[in-house]
Copies of this chain bind each other. A is one copy, B any other.
């Protein structure tokens, strides 16, 4: 496609002007970070990308991810100039009534993933590119615009190695090397060769250009599109505040809107705006997109009392789900033989992507896959999701369709020691807005977790256990998000004991111990940690005289105990929390559960104290 470079320059300057104008009413935003990238974005939107501004999420449309999310005004300006919405709306930027937020979120139809925490866009883009190249076999391309400052994030290099390992030649990174970070110059200033060498060392084709020269810009996009078996990085030397003499390449201008109407006018005058120029966007070629196979597996075939680790049951369930639903994909971080995502891999090798030991990227790539209609299940040890907590936090802002499964919860893993024990994962995941937290206590409920997660849009965290535990539910037992299960109940129950996972097993043992002493307890399985079942818990508490004990293989903060306290707030129920109150250590599972006070004996003692 031949593009008129003068017209492109005119459009690029309009994008700059919009960035200056739109940040002015609230005196907030990052116009100079927009101005450095305006030529790169103008070239992409009005010379390269194939898309329909009125159907930005179309399966055939090229994707654009603004990893440097603080350049949101530029993104909004480009979409407005492309015709997605009236340019006048740009002036509502950052107002509470506007979806044009300070950093992009998918409240806007043309934003796939929220950005603003830096260094995350390339993983999301890689996930989208995986979807196009390997799953749907569509020829859309994925463009990700990064800043030079954010290229210091390790997550960028996790994504880079993943993209080259999977030979994502449909992925193109553009790095806007404008030299200046938030608080000072970046590590390498305008030395674009550093980044070129790094991308090459990470298996990419890399091209260095002057990011304000349209002929170089368009040539680089062409070269990227024709490079096979490798992703391409366009590393562009640019100037922050480009086009306005009193902003360009100046220190201390990060994240600052212009201060007065006179300054705005002066800047706009320098940009020499031509409102008459128009440029069309490139449409994508129409074709039929195959519909996915969608289905639900039947009940599993476990036997009551059979010893099966919930992590193993997770793998079984995922493989079975994959048999009937082609949207299901899985990623893991070299722990697939521990999380049992390998069961899925063995059944569906074409829909499993090994992410190696790089947890940030598998979460980010999962978010990207979710935007392309997939149902991504991402697994690693529960403890190691801490590595990706910022990606998880941003996934919530992205309203991602993302399913996480964390295995090896708690001290019950035993001898490997605290570095491998998920003991803060419930706190971490409960605090993610909209994320449901499910915690299966046996193989049947683990199967239900996978099914519920797959059929419900949004984020899920499924916490699984390392040791084998007995099957307690029949295969056709019904589970719901937000519902606890009462597993032992008699009218004479004197205390409600709430557990989940391995502590439910201990609670059942305590039930039997205490029964011999004539003490009857209600046992509740907090299958759905979030949302917690307020009604069910309140009923159980009320029926046991307001006496409640929680027991969890987790630190006392933010886990099951506090979830139950919140669910019972205002009822007057007294909750005693058994949890792991200190830093644990290596040992045998049963020794550790005893040492840290969450085994059947400790539950029984707590009950005796409460009723005594």
Interface residues of A (CB under 8 A from B): 26, 28-29, 69, 94-96, 98, 101-103, 105, 107, 114-119, 149-150, 152-158, 161, 165, 181-184, 186-187, 194, 197-198, 200-202, 332, 334-338, 342, 354, 356-361, 383-384, 386-387, 389-390, 392-394, 396-397, 399, 414-420, 423-424, 427-428, 430-434, 530, 555-559, 561-563, 565-566, 569-570, 572, 574-577, 582-583, 585-588, 591-592, 595
Q: CA–CA, A158 to B152, complex, Å?
A: 7
**Known A-B contacts A158-B152, A419-B117; A334 and B182 likewise in contact (beta carbons under 8 Å):** yes
How far apart are A522's CB and chain B's nearest CB, in angstroms?
Answer: 18
How far apart are A500's CB and chain B's nearest CB, in angstroms?
Answer: 16
Q: CA–CA, A59 to B94, complex, Å?
A: 52
- Across the interface, which residues of B come within 8 angstroms of A418, CB to CB? 101, 105, 114, 116, 397
Whether A181 contacts B566 by the Cβ 8 Å rule is no
Residue of B nearest to A570 (CB): B574
24 contacts between A and B (CB under 8 A): A28-B414, A28-B416, A95-B587, A102-B417, A116-B416, A116-B417, A116-B419, A116-B420, A117-B384, A117-B420, A149-B357, A154-B358, A183-B336, A183-B342, A200-B201, A359-B390, A386-B390, A387-B389, A399-B583, A431-B559, A433-B583, A556-B566, A557-B563, A558-B558
How far apart are A115's CB and chain B's nearest CB, in angstroms?
Answer: 7
Q: CA–CA, A182 to B341, complex, Å?
A: 13
- Across the interface, which residues of B come within 8 angstroms of A152, CB to CB? 158, 161, 356-358
- Across the interface, which residues of B come within 8 angstroms of A433, CB to CB? 423, 555, 582-583
User: Which 10 A-B residue pairs are closest in the complex by CB-CB distance?
Assistant: A154-B154, A116-B419, A96-B587, A558-B558, A427-B431, A424-B431, A387-B390, A386-B390, A102-B417, A201-B201
The copy count of this chain in the complex is 2
How far apart are A312's CB and chain B's nearest CB, in angstroms?
Answer: 15
Whether A592 contacts B96 by the Cβ 8 Å rule is yes
**Known A-B contacts A387-B390, A562-B558; A105 and B417 likewise in contact (beta carbons under 8 Å):** yes
- Across the interface, which residues of B come within 8 angstroms of A198, CB to CB? 198, 201-202
How far apart are A459's CB and chain B's nearest CB, in angstroms?
Answer: 11
Residue of B nearest to A155 (CB): B154
Q: CA–CA, A373 to B450, complex, Å?
A: 48
Whether B427 contacts A387 by the Cβ 8 Å rule is no
Whether A69 contacts B154 by the Cβ 8 Å rule is no
**Known A-B contacts A417-B101, A587-B95; A428 and B577 likewise in contact (beta carbons under 8 Å):** no
Whether A103 contacts B583 by the Cβ 8 Å rule is no
Whether B337 contacts A182 by the Cβ 8 Å rule is yes
**Known A-B contacts A94-B586, A387-B117, A572-B572; A153 and B428 likewise in contact (beta carbons under 8 Å):** no
Q: CA–CA, A357 to B182, complex, Å?
A: 9
CB contact between A569 and one of B114, B201, B570, B577 (< 8 Å): that residue:
B577
How far apart are A248's CB and chain B's nearest CB, in angstroms?
Answer: 20
Whether A566 contacts B577 by the Cβ 8 Å rule is yes
